Copies of this chain bind each other. A is one copy, B any other.
Amino acid sequence: MLNYSTSEENYIKAIFHLQGEGSVNTNKLAAELKTRPASVTDMMKKLRDKKLVHYQAYKGFRLTTEGKKLALLIIRRHRLWEFFLAEKLRFSWDEVHEVAEDLEHVSSKKLVDKLDEYLGFPRFDPHGDPIPDANGKIEPTKQVCLTDLALNKPGIVCYVSDQSTEMLELLSHKNIGMGTRLEIKKRFQFDQSLEIRVKQQTETISEVLARNIYVKI
């Protein structure tokens, strides 16, 4: 595997993430990377020449097999460092991302694989996202309804089936959004309501609400 610049790696990773939610275009990628559409076009030409993305002017773009492989390697590094920071250095889980954003670009293969081994081959980062193994293989994440989440097992909110204003208002009042990490602390038999831990706070969720929330585990 060749060596790529920090910038190239950040583009590849961003395309990979956007690809998960449909087609990737110039403006979306520019927004994601906080850069300008013109810069994206420039980079897409370069990444196309390096055979990391399929790209034709005006036709959008997506990663090649090689590009996907690279993306998974960068994500592997990122999430392993996040795990290290949280587990070993006792960073809180909302502080790890920024630092991992830099560490992920240190490219020594031996460093990454030894780190993985040292950490005991963890399968999920502190946000609950799966860590690709040395071959770039990712454990398929299971998505379960909040009503089915086990006690004291972290889940990441990834989908809400009702997206009415009323629903979203209630969610934001309880500090819950897409990507929010939560844990069920208590499940009351009487009304199936839940007491959950979210962002260092405790909230109560009715069964009706819980039925509409899905989490990654």
Contact = CB atoms under 8 A, between A and B. Distances in A.
A33 interface: no
Interface string A110-129: 11001101100000000000
A114 B91 contact: yes
A13 to B, nearest CB: 17
Contacts of A103: 103, 106
B90 A114 contact: yes
B89 A118 contact: yes
A110 to B, nearest CB: 7
A38 interface: no
Interface size class of A (residues with CB under 8 A): 10 to 19
Interface string A66-106: 00000000000000000001001111000100110011001
A115 B89 contact: yes
A106 B84 CA distance: 15
B99 A106 contact: yes
A161 interface: no
A26 to B, nearest CB: 28
A103 B107 CA distance: 10
A108 interface: yes
7 contacts: A88-B118, A89-B111, A91-B110, A91-B114, A99-B111, A102-B107, A103-B106
Those 8 A-B pairs whose CB atoms lie nearest each other, nearest first:
A89-B114, A102-B106, A99-B108, A99-B111, A89-B118, A103-B106, A88-B118, A89-B115
